[in-house]
Amino acid sequence: MTRGIGLALVLAVCVSGLLPGLAGAERRAFVDPSTGALKAYGFVTRNEPGDVAVAVPDDFSLTPGRWRWTGAAWVPYAPPPAPPTPQAIRLQAARAHVQSLLGDPAVNQGVKDALRAILEAIP
């Protein structure tokens, strides 16, 4: 029975030592320094190296990646599209080449039919 009381006392001391730190915790949003895009938020002091911390209210609930901090307000944000992959660039060039062959009168009709079928099969 005394072991249970001792364990409860140790637990109470540990928890009471954490409470002052939690009471002063401030909710922060973390933004990308180059774009201002919201990356994350929570009751932590820092996120990734270089992220800018912005104090926010406890009920803050904006979706990361869809909002940007202007320095004074949160505004909707749409990230720029990702650049095409090398494979997508090669595929686009191959499509353009096949299209040019389809317009070439010197190319046999059977070859043109095969090229059209290939174009339809390629995503």
pLDDT tens string 28-85:
999 999 999 999 999 888 888 889 999 999 999 999 999 999 999 999 999 889 999 9
Distance in angstroms between the alpha carbons of the first and the last residue of the chain = 72
pLDDT for 52: 93
- Mean local confidence (pLDDT), 14-18: 48
Going from the C-alpha of 86 to that of each of 80, 89, 110, the distances in angstroms are: 18, 5, 31
- pLDDT tens per residue across span 18-38: 444 445 579 999 999 999 999
pLDDT for 76: 96
- pLDDT tens per residue across span 95-123: 999 999 999 999 999 999 999 998 888 77
List the 52-55 sheet strands across, edge first. 38-42, 28-31, 52-55
Dmax over CA atoms of the chain, in Å, equals: 98
Going from the C-alpha of 75 to that of each of 4, 40, 63, 68, the distances in angstroms are: 54, 15, 11, 5
